[in-house]
Structure 1
Amino acid sequence: MDNLISYGFQLVVGALVTLKLAFSVLALGLTSGLLLAWMKTSKMTVVRMPVDFLTSVTRGIPEFLIILVIYFGLSSFVQRYLGDTLEITPFVGGVIALSIVFASISSEVFRGALASVPLGQIEAAHAYGVSTLKTFVLIRLPQAWRICLPSINNMWQAVIKDTSLVSVIGLEDMLKKAGIAAQYTRQPMLFYCAAAAIYFLMLTASTPIFKHLEKRASFGYTRS
């Protein structure tokens, strides 16, 4: 019984690591995705085409493989050129790898949402002397945010589940903790089902949050 309680506590610790990883990926991935989307809408071919190519390649590679390439590739680069001055931990490697995936997908979502903003509104803002940056922040971005929120919710749920892949490079997240507990207690069904239940609770708890965000973002808009 004591072992079960101890490993149960470790499972909770792993769940906190999973959430920390997911929120880090969400913040970095959304920011990077918005930047990539802005670059994709650029009129300069030299800016737009490389970004389109890189995001297409990234979306065509399995997340598991990206995690391996980023973690071991970065670790090898750091050891070769920086020595022991910098260490790429499994957490950092996981955040970078999953953020690349998240940013590539979200860039397409943002690009489509930005393109759906009526051109007349942008031209009207410019006619009133509003700068391009202010037009983007005050007019295009709020409307694009409202449009892409449901897709961001789906991507967030995918990120929660994809965090389990990072355990392969040594991160002691919830799945890793469940595997350790299952091995030492010889009760794999108990701990893997417990981990599955916690994943489900995480996803269920996020649903009303995104519904609230969608409601706030849609304030003032009439439904057709």
Structure 2
Amino acid sequence: MYELFSYGDAGWGDEILRGLAITVQLAVVTLPVGLFLGFLAAFASMSKWRPLRVLGFGYTTVMRGLPEILTLFVVYNGAGLLLNVILRWWSPEAPPTDFSPFAAGVIALGMVFGAFAGEVLRGAFQSLDIGQIEAGRAIGMTNRQIFLRIQLPQVWRFALPGLGNLWINMLKDTALVSVIALDDLMRMTKVAVGVTKQPFTFYLLACLIYWVMCVLSELVLAKLERRANRGIRRVTS
């Protein structure tokens, strides 16, 4: 069994590690994209302008109602089709181009993460005491200063548990990109199973790797929550 996980032509250790690296890269790149979309969705949902509110709520409602794998297929095939249309318009003699599976994974997972994050962030913003914002304006703070010094630190504290859960879910959802031929951990596991005919061994290994990543994420998130809540007095009954 140990030979199956060795490096080189005799084992699959190097392929599994390369797939793990791509999985981690995909999750890390998707996180800021999803957070950016989440803030945009939250701001749009809380806007005083009705069309923006409709757009914000429409985005979160639609994206939360679609299966992640369907979103992935739509982005991968739709973006690829759009890219080729633009290339043919720019240069009619341009050969067809395949859309990057990694980019498709980042966009699709980022859109899903952003929809759920938008609701988490909207709830966090609505939990803030409006009196603090009015006090900031009373002492001459600009809207930017109010956001950075008053709102954002508290929103981060309120939203962190929900965003942490979304991160762990997104980390596991990266396995979906294997269906569009991205050589992530799940795809390399499937390839190893197809060649070695050892499904239990390799799928169990993949389970352990995903579990370890989630446990490490939970430890980091717990530390971030403790830091975000430092100085906060907890009232016990």
Do the two structures share a fold, i.e. TM-score over 0.5? yes
Q: State the SS of the aligned residue for 1:129.
A: coil
Alignment partner of 1:28 is 2:33: yes
The Cα offsets for residues 102-136 of structure 1, whole Å up to 9 and x where unpaired, read as 00000000000011010000111111111112211
Q: State the SS of the aligned residue for 1:82.
A: helix
Aligned residue runs from structure 1 range 134-149, under 5 A: 134-149=145-160
Which is higher, the Rg of structure 1 or of structure 2?
2
Post-superposition offset of 1:8: 2.1
Which of 34, 43, 54 is 2:59 aligned to? 54
Question: TM-score, normalized by length of structure 2?
Answer: 0.90
Give me the whole-angstrom Cα distance separating, in 2, the residues matched to 1:3 and 1:216.
42
Which of 71, 76, 96 is 2:81 aligned to? 76
Q: Percent identity?
A: 38
Alignment partner of 1:18 is 2:29: no
Please list every run of 5 or more consecutive structure 2 residues that lacks an aligned counterpart in the other structure: 89-93
Q: State the SS of the aligned residue for 1:172.
A: coil
Give me the whole-angstrom Cα distance separating, in 1, the residues matched to 2:230 and 2:118.
25
Which of 123, 126, 132 is 2:134 aligned to? 123
Give me the whole-angstrom Cα distance separating, in 2, the residues matched to 1:155 and 1:220.
26
2:64–2:116 contact (8 Å) kept in structure 1:
yes
The Cα offsets for residues 142-181 of structure 1, whole Å up to 9 and x where unpaired, read as 1010011111111111011100111101111101000000
Q: 1:4 to 1:124 in 2, by over 3 A?
A: closer
Q: CA RMSD in A?
A: 1.5
Post-superposition offset of 1:46: 1.9
Please list every run of 5 or more consecutive structure 1 residues that lacks an aligned counterpart in the other structure: none
Cross-structure match for 2:110: 99
1:71–1:90 contact (8 Å) kept in structure 2:
yes
1:114–1:140 contact (8 Å) kept in structure 2:
yes
Give me the whole-angstrom Cα distance separating, in 1, the residues matched to 2:78 and 2:141.
45
1:4–1:185 contact (8 Å) kept in structure 2:
no
Post-superposition offset of 1:207: 1.2
Give me the whole-angstrom Cα distance separating, in 1, the residues matched to 2:183 and 2:105.
11
Post-superposition offset of 1:38: 1.6
Cross-structure match for 1:45: 50
Amino acid at match of 1:145: W
Aligned residue runs from structure 1 range 190-201, under 5 A: 190-201=201-212
Runs ≥4 residues deviating over 4 A: 1-4, 83-87
Cross-structure match for 2:177: 166
Amino acid at match of 1:177: M
Q: State the SS of the aligned residue for 2:78.
A: helix
Question: TM-score, normalized by length of structure 1?
Answer: 0.95
Post-superposition offset of 1:3: 5.3
Higher relative contact order (CA 8 A, sep 6+): 1
